[in-house]
């Protein structure tokens, strides 16, 4: 049976995961957060005392890091060697390590297989950096979601402040710009808009407006349109 797939790519903080989660829920699809898989691997490298530039050592230990995902109440959980690490992978240190190590071919090919397998087995909304360009080039609907770096930093700042975590908006924006640079300029599967992806700039849109826009694109596509 052919499964439906929606690919959502874009830079850090553009709102991909919030929207992908909502769209998946409304459509009854599985939400696949590929960033969480790269993050779990990065956590493993940190725990092994490996630094981001040690590509050879990363290649050597990769086989020892088993990444699996499961769904609890419809929410994706990521497991590293049987341990649920979902709550440990959102720190700044892990974010930086993830962006730095996701550029390696061996890291990417390990996770590519898992991502394609998931899309083969279920209807998915999958978000990441290279889903429309590389992981699922035949995705039924591709969206490239973006927003200005200041707006993205502001959203992250509000999120952290709400959780009582002290932070500085300038620092956050600097981190976002650095990550974008690295993700867009790496050699393998860089962050890019697929030619056939719909560009969605969410700078001036509320979460509900973006979710409605994505569902309208899906309905348009399902009815035989071009998604716009
Ligand atoms: O979406 P995120 O912020 O959780 O992703 C963390 C990092 O993982 C991001 O800086 C780049 C990398 N990543 C990737 O290279 N390819 C993907 N499909 C998803 C994430």
Best of 102, 124, 149, 179 to mutate for ligand 1, by most ligand atoms within 8 A of CB?
102
Nearest residue (CA) to ligand 1, atom 14:
129
The pLDDT of residue 159 is above 90: no
Q: pTM value? A: 0.94
Cα 74 to averaged position of ligand 1 atoms, centre (Å): 21
Confidence of residue 226 (pLDDT cuts 50, 70, 90): confident
Quick one: which H or E segment has residue 19? helix 16-27
Cα 71 to averaged position of ligand 1 atoms, centre (Å): 20
Cα 205 to averaged position of ligand 1 atoms, centre (Å): 23
**From the alpha carbon of 186, which atom of ligand 1 is closest?**
15
- Residue 165, CB-side half-sphere exposure with 13 Å CA sphere: 13
**Residue 130 beta carbon below 6 angstroms from any ligand 1 atom:** yes
Tell me, which fold does domain 5-222 have in CATH? Rossmann fold (3.40.50)
Pick the more confident residue, 13 or 41: 41
| Whole-number Å distance between alpha carbons of 50 and 40 | 14
φ, ψ at 56 (rounded to 5°): -65, -45
Nearest residue (CA) to ligand 1, atom 3:
12
Contact 173, 150 (CB under 8 A): yes
Domain spans of the chain, in order of start: 5-222
**Residue 34 beta carbon below 6 angstroms from any ligand 1 atom:** yes
Nearest CA-CA partner of 169 in 184, 156, 181: 156
**From the alpha carbon of 183, which atom of ligand 1 is closest?**
11
**Model pLDDT for residues 17-55, shown as the tens digit of each residue:** 999 999 999 999 999 999 999 999 999 999 999 999 999
**Model pLDDT for residues 101-141, shown as the tens digit of each residue:** 999 999 999 999 999 999 999 999 999 999 999 999 999 99
The pLDDT of residue 223 is above 90: no
| Whole-number Å distance between alpha carbons of 44 and 79 | 11
């Amino acid at each position: 049976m052919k499964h439906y797939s929606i690919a959502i790519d874009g830079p850090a903080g553009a709102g991909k995961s919030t929207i992908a989660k909502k769209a998946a829920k409304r459509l009854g699809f599985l939400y696949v957060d590929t960033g969480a898989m790269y993050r779990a691997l990065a956590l493993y490298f940190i725990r092994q005392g490996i630094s981001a530039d040690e590509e050879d050592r990363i290649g050597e230990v990769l086989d020892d890091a088993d990444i699996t995902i499961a769904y609890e109440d419809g929410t994706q959980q990521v497991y590293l060697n049987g341990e649920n690490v979902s709550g440990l992978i959102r720190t700044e240190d892990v974010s930086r390590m993830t962006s730095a190590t996701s550029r390696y071919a061996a890291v990417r090919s390990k996770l590519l297989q898992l991502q394609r397998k998931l899309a083969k087995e279920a209807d998915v909304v999958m978000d990441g950096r290279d889903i429309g360009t590389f992981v699922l080039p035949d995705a039924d609907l591709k969206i490239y979601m973006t927003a200005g770096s200041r707006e993205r930093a502001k959203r992250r700042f509000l999120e952290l402040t709400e959780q009582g975590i002290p932070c500085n908006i300038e620092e956050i924006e600097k981190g976002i710009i650095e990550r974008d640079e690295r993700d867009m300029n790496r050699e393998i599967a860089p962050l890019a808009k697929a030619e056939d992806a719909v560009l969605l700039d969410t700078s001036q849109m509320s979460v509900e407006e973006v979710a409605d826009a994505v569902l309208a694109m899906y309905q348009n596509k399902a009815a035989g349109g071009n998604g716009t």
